[in-house]
Amino acid sequence: MALTDIPIIDTDSHVMEPPDLWTSRMSEKKWGDRIPHLVLDERRDEMRWLIGGKRLTGVANWATAGWHEPPPSHPRTLEEAEPGAWNPEARLARMDDFGIWAQALYPNLLTFSGHAFRAMGDDELIMESIRAYNDFLTDFASVDPQRFVLLSVLPYWDVEASIAELLRCRDKGHHGVCFLSKPYKIGLPSLQDPHWEPLFSVAQETGMSLNFHVGFQEFGEDDFKSMLSTKAARSDYAKLSAMSYLGNAETLADLTLFGVCHKYPDLKFVLVESGFGWIPYYVEALDWQWHNSGASKAYPEMELPSFYFRRQVYGSFWFEKDTVNRMIELYADNITFESDYPHPTSLSPGPASSAKTPRETILESLEGVPEDVCRKVLHDNAAKLYHLTGQ
């Protein structure tokens, strides 16, 4: 198995937002201190993001790759963090170290703290904040556009504005969008509602995939208290981290049971940072219940959920080993690989992490898998999904 010859595509990583991301790109004269910015928390001796009047995580809260203590401990500054977490040249060097050719980039604040942006209370201000982030992402990738997969954030509360931003970012080289998986939690229609049809149609026409990261499930401030508090038990962190992986189960049901995949047969959907081992069981359960509930007779025009999953839904794995062979046996065309760099659960060895490198993890997990199948999982599926042509 010549794994060293496969240009690995990592379908989930994160970039730490630099301190001046928004202040350098938005008008201080127009918006003043309503622009997302950092403030000093003297009690923690740490700069924290202030957005929509809410004091959020520290500037390097999620940059724990190689950190010397387990979470919730984290670097207090970006300078204390691994440079690859925030510097594009250093990121490319770290990718080379890990044997990764290309890497998808996800945000932190606009996913895990989306509630704070909405608390700004001004649609124009939020829209400018989103554009600023998407432009930052384009600039970050400019050092080597072929090796970064750019995923735009949209102003999802406004379908027409979302379409405009999708097209703007597509023209700037973005490959897909990071989308909210449970819009009903903030009073918007569910994914299967006709409300989204104009946006989904344009995404399908342009080949821009919809990517559902577990961090974009509409978390509130209370959701992270027991995870990020210094008083939290290690077992709390383990439980809530693992539970978040299953958050995309509802998303998968919404996509396959209610006609979304049926209406948009060429639109690709991606379940990110969810793991993959639970999917074979869950898809089988959806099929069984589709028949058992009588839905197959009530909607004879619809295919089984497993049909839609195989045709247009992708998932990813990183730490999994025991379930990999079964995953590949059933869904070799739907599996991609991720590292989650530089988050606490990432494949980033360090004094406080039991993780192995991506290359070491792959060698263990895919031992005995034929080379052509390995190439699908590590490269071809993601290259097709994101229209990558560099390798």
The 10s digit of each residue's pLDDT in 329-362 is: 999 999 999 999 999 999 999 898 989 999 999 9
Q: What is the pLDDT of residue 239?
A: 84
Q: What is the pLDDT of residue 216?
A: 76
pLDDT at 222 over 80: no
Distance (Å, rounded) from C-alpha 356 to C-alpha 362? Answer: 9
Distance (Å, rounded) from C-alpha 189 to C-alpha 204? Answer: 20
Using a 10 angstrom Cβ sphere, with 0-12 exposed, 13-18 middle and 19 or more buried, the burial of residue 185 is middle
Q: What is the pLDDT of residues 107-118, one digit of tens each?
A: 999 988 888 999
Mean pLDDT across the chain:
93
Cross-strand pairs, 269: 210, 313
Distance (Å, rounded) from C-alpha 168 to C-alpha 225? Answer: 37
Distance (Å, rounded) from C-alpha 254 to C-alpha 269? Answer: 12
Handedness of CA 117, 338, 90, 81 (dihedral sign): positive
Unique residue bearing structure tokens 């942006």? 117
- Whether the Cβ atoms of residue 252 and residue 261 lie closer than 8 Å to each other: no
- Please choose, from the candidates 326, 321, 385, 387, the residue with its C-alpha nearest in 3D space to the C-alpha of residue 356: 321
What would the 3-class secondary structure string for 262-289 be?
HHCCCCCEEEECCCCCHHHHHHHHHHHH
Cα→Cα distances 86→65, 89, 93, Å:
12, 9, 12
The CATH number of the structural domain formed by 3-20+81-386 is: 3.20.20.140
Q: What is the pLDDT of residue 226?
A: 54
Report the percent of the chain where pLDDT is more than 90. Answer: 82
55 phi/psi in degrees, rounded to 5: -90, 120
- Please give the model's pTM, rounded to 2 decimal places: 0.94
Radius of gyration of the chain (CA): 20
- Whether the Cβ atoms of residue 143 and residue 354 lie closer than 8 Å to each other: no
pLDDT at 225 over 70: no
Peptide bond into 72 cis (omega under 30): yes
CB atoms under 10 Å from CB of 372, counted, come to 9
Q: What is the pLDDT of residues 307-324, one digit of tens each?
A: 999 999 999 999 999 899
Q: What's CA 168's distance to the chain center, in Å?
A: 20
Of residues 186 and 35, the one with the higher pLDDT is 35
- Find all residues with CB under 8 Å of 245, minimum gap 6, and list them: 214, 273, 274, 275, 278
Cα→Cα distances 136→18, 62, 80, 169, 312, Å:
9, 18, 22, 11, 30
Q: What strands lie across the sheet with 46-51, from one edge to the other?
A: 37-41, 46-51, 54-58
Q: What is the pLDDT of residues 135-146, one digit of tens each?
A: 999 999 999 999
Cross-strand pairs, 173: none
Q: What is the pLDDT of residue 386?
A: 98
Q: What's CA 300's distance to the chain center, in Å?
A: 34
Q: What is the pLDDT of residue 80?
A: 96
Q: What is the pLDDT of residue 224?
A: 56
Integer distance in angstroms from the first to the last C-alpha of the chain? 19
